[in-house]
Amino acid sequence: MSYDEHDAAMDDFYDRMSEELYPEHKEQAIDEFVTERMQSYYLKYPHLLEAPIVSYHHANELMQISPRSALVMYTTAIELFLKVVLLKPVLYGMVHNENVAELIVGTTIGQSGFSRYNKLLNALCLHAADIELSGIKGMSGKAILSEAEDVQKVRNKVVHQGYICTVQEMGTAKNIASLILTEVVEPVLNNLDLVITSIDSRFAVTKAYKL
82: left (phi over 0), alpha (psi -120 to 50) or beta: alpha
Q: Which residues pair with 143 in a beta bridge?
A: 137
> Would you list the domain boundaries of the chain?
5-207
CA-CA distance, 149 to 44, in Å (whole number)? 30
What tens-digit pLDDT sequence spans the chain (211 residues)? 555 666 666 666 666 665 655 555 444 444 565 678 788 889 999 999 999 999 999 999 999 999 999 999 999 999 999 988 988 887 776 666 566 666 666 665 555 666 667 777 887 788 778 888 889 998 888 999 999 999 999 999 999 999 999 999 999 999 999 999 999 999 999 988 999 999 889 999 999 876 5
Question: What is the pLDDT, as a whole number, of residue 206?
Answer: 95
Alpha helix stretches (DSSP H) within 23-143: 28-44, 50-62, 67-79, 88-94, 98-108, 118-129
Question: What's the mean pLDDT when you consider all of the chain?
Answer: 82
| CA 35/CA 42 separation, integer angstroms | 11
pTM of the predicted protein model:
0.82
Q: What is the pLDDT of residue 10?
A: 62
pLDDT digits (tens, 9 = 90+) for 33-61: 567 878 888 999 999 999 999 999 999 99
What number of CA atoms fall less than 13 Å from residue 158's CA on the CB side? 22
Helix, strand, coil in percent for the chain, rounding step 5? 70, 5, 25
